[in-house]
Structure 1
Amino acid sequence: MTNAQLLAETFRGPFLENTHLGHAVISDSKGIVQAWGNPQAVVLPRSSSKMIQALPLVTSGAADKHGLTERQLALACASHQGAPLHVSAVSDWLKDLGLGESDLQCGPQPTRDNDLKLQMIRDGEPPCQLHNNCSGKHAGFLTLGQHLGAGPDYVDPDHPVQKAALDAFETVTDLKSPGFGIDGCSAPNYATTVEAMARAMAWFATAQTRNDTLSQAGARLAAAMYAYPEMVAGEGRACTLLMRAANQPVALKTGADGYFIAILPQQGLGVALKIADGTTRAAESALAAILVRLGVLSEDHPDTQRFLSPEIRNWRGILTGQVRPASALLA
């Protein structure tokens, strides 16, 4: 990616083994506060855009019509790990709609919950779509589609659900998207600049200060994420643990291939970053460094250290290396 900047490094012993370049932007409602790399890099935000995709679920009145709870709204924004609490929550949500697992179009995915995975192997139970990390988002899509009286193919880019999601995306990023790619869950994922995505997160961070319908929807979704970090990701995951470790409300959302966002309501800031080589642990390290820089995380908190400078150990448990954020992020 053009003019990408060093954001993280991987060491093996004393040797620098990998450098992780990328782009990161901190934005307020007026524009860029600080940036690394190229703010105008056009990137697919992947699952980091889920809270944007969930906006029409609230603005349409579908969420209120179906009595969705704050916990369910957090799940609509989630990349969950398919743990029992996530699977049961999505299953119950679909039942309330008069639908079932077969109505989802996200595809089956093995659970990331180790205990459940082992139990399913022992029982000979194959993974299903409920275990997909995007099944909460898709339950939201189905809720909106039902409310709109639209057809079942809700992942089609021309479907009313996806047209509403695109309209919300271009509104809060304040930029026309140049196009989309099909995400791992089969829904279209719209591209935008890193700056525009950070601006959108600042929009969410300040949404509670405005009274228009879209902003109030953004405020509700962000508040749901602050309140239910375990629904946004799950135990052991960076989003959940760093949200809990923060000294102020924060919504964090990872996206595949090295994307990450943060919503900081007390500071009115949004953060977006992309690691060019798609390495997740490098994205987690860089994001943690920015949150330390902004005073949201304490550097000595064990969960901050877990992602800021994670140790790398081999199969015998021997310490072999470490991931470290670029010094420019902490300076």
Structure 2
Amino acid sequence: MENPILVISSRVHYPESQHRGAIAVVNAAGKVVYSVGDIETPIFPRSASKLFQVLPLIESGAVDAYHLGQEEIALACGSHNGEDTHVQIGEKWLQKINKNENILACGTHRPMGKKAVQELIKKHQSPTPLHNACSGKHLGFITTALHRGEDPQEYISRQHPTQKRVEHTLSEITNFETSTAPHAIDGCEIPVIAIPLYNLAWGMANLADPKSLPYVRQKAIHLVIDSLKNHPNLIAGDGAFDTELIRATEGRIIAKMGASGTYVAFSSEHALGIALKIDDGNIKAAEIAMIHILEELGLIDTERSETLGHEKIIFTYNSKPVGKIHAAPKKRQF
């Protein structure tokens, strides 16, 4: 059966596109609090895994060994806009590990943030690997390998000890056996493992309520949360949904986007984890679906929902509003 329609794109008042998807809301005991659609078939979480992938960096002792702070940790969690602040933190991080940007295997692309692109054009500069949205995550992998005395070359290989630790962490925190799961290569070259929405949400719930986890992991999770609360601009950037959600809720809710319409979030206050996937990969539809499930669960109020953009206006190239992307009627959605 098809997943239900969660979001609709309308031009004037007539539907133009319909975005189907699935949502899982789970507590730390693994109980499904709410679900819609298929939450059991594994999906590629892409960058939505970053809140898990950063944990080995902290647990290994590399953070202390290289005198990394909350800024580096927040950057490692992020899919950043490539703003000057993001690049500067990456440059300082490279200095701390005595490496240059050539060690980064993430590749180079135009910054995700429009302002960052404009700044590069104004300065007549080209993007570097530090402008890559995943540069912080890669710096975390490299730093962990160096701290453990491992060759950082080929750190992106699934067989490298760094990636084996990351995958083991993913398996533990999501309570899902990843060894036989579908796997592929992410846009930034690292392995990506397919995980069901149910298990992704359970993993998020473990971040929200880690008291059943080993003390070392609890400590690492608290450091991640504090880092993102204190530096919300580093998970994405000014105006980006992940950053603005942390600001709007004063860190009570933390969300992380993943490519191709995946989103995860958790609420420490309510000890809940959320994972959703829009089938056609529309990231704007995923943001809207996340805002509305947060509102339906009572995790944000209507005022914050509207501030965060519970509807996205469609404009012409002359900036004339001609439609909107909005949640499907509640009787079909929540």
TM range (shorter): over 0.9
In structure 1, the residue matched to 2:78 is: 78
Q: Does 1:16 align with 2:11?
A: no
- In the alignment, does 2:248 pair up with 1:238? no
Local SS of the residue matching 1:165: helix
Residue 170 of structure 1 pairs with residue 144 of structure 2: no
Mapped to 2, the partners of 1:115 and 1:22 lie a distance apart of: 31
Q: Report how far residue 248 of structure 1 moved.
A: 5.6
Does the Cα contact within 8 Å between 1:106 and 1:134 map onto a contact in 2?
A: yes
Deviation string 1:80-104 (CA, Å, 9 cap, x unpaired) is 0000000000110011100111111
Post-superposition Cα deviations, 1:46-77, rounded to whole Å, max 9, x if no partner, equal 00000111111111111121122122111111
The amino acid that maps onto 2:281 is: G
Q: CA deviation at 1:210?
A: 5.2
- Aligned position for 2:155: 154
TM-score normalized with structure 1 length: 0.95
Alignment of 1:55-204 (within 5 A): 55-151=55-151, 152-177=153-178, 178-204=181-207
TM-score by length of 2: 0.94
* Residue number in structure 2 paired with 1:228: 231
Measure how far apart 1:298 and its partner are.
Answer: 2.2
Return 5+ residue gaps in structure 1 as ranges: none
Q: Is the 8 A contact 2:229 2:251 kept in 1?
A: no
Q: Using the alignment, how far apart are the partners of 1:158 and 1:310 within structure 2?
A: 42
State the alpha-carbon separation in 2 of the partners of residues 219 and 130 from structure 1.
26
- Please say if residues 82 and 131 of structure 1, whose CA atoms lie closer than 8 Å, have aligned partners that are also in contact: yes
| Aligned 8 A contact 2:291 2:308 in 1 | no
Q: Could you tell me how far 1:296 is from its partner in structure 2?
A: 2.5
Question: Equivalents in 2 of 1:261, 1:180: separation in Å?
Answer: 19
Percent identity for Structure 1 against Structure 2: 30
Cα gap change, 1:233/1:128 in structure 2, threshold over 3 Å: closer, same or farther?
Answer: same
* Secondary structure of the structure 2 residue equivalent to 1:72: helix
Using the alignment, how far apart are the partners of 1:169 and 1:105 within structure 2?
Answer: 21
Matched residue, 1:292: 295
Q: How many Å apart are 1:221 and its aligned residue?
A: 1.5
> Residues 214, 119 of structure 1: CA spacing in aligned structure 2 closer, same or farther, 3 A cutoff?
closer
Across the two proteins, how many residue pairs are aligned to each other?
A: 329
**Letter of the aligned partner of 1:260 in structure 2?**
Y
Find the residue that maps to 2:80 and give its secondary structure.
coil
Question: Displacement, 1:28?
Answer: 0.3
Residue identity opposite 1:181 in structure 2: A
Question: What is the RMSD computed on CA atoms of the aligned residues?
Answer: 1.7
8 Å CA contact 1:309, 1:322 repeated in 2: yes
> Shift of the alpha carbon at 1:41?
2.1
CA contact (8 A) 1:248 1:296 kept: no
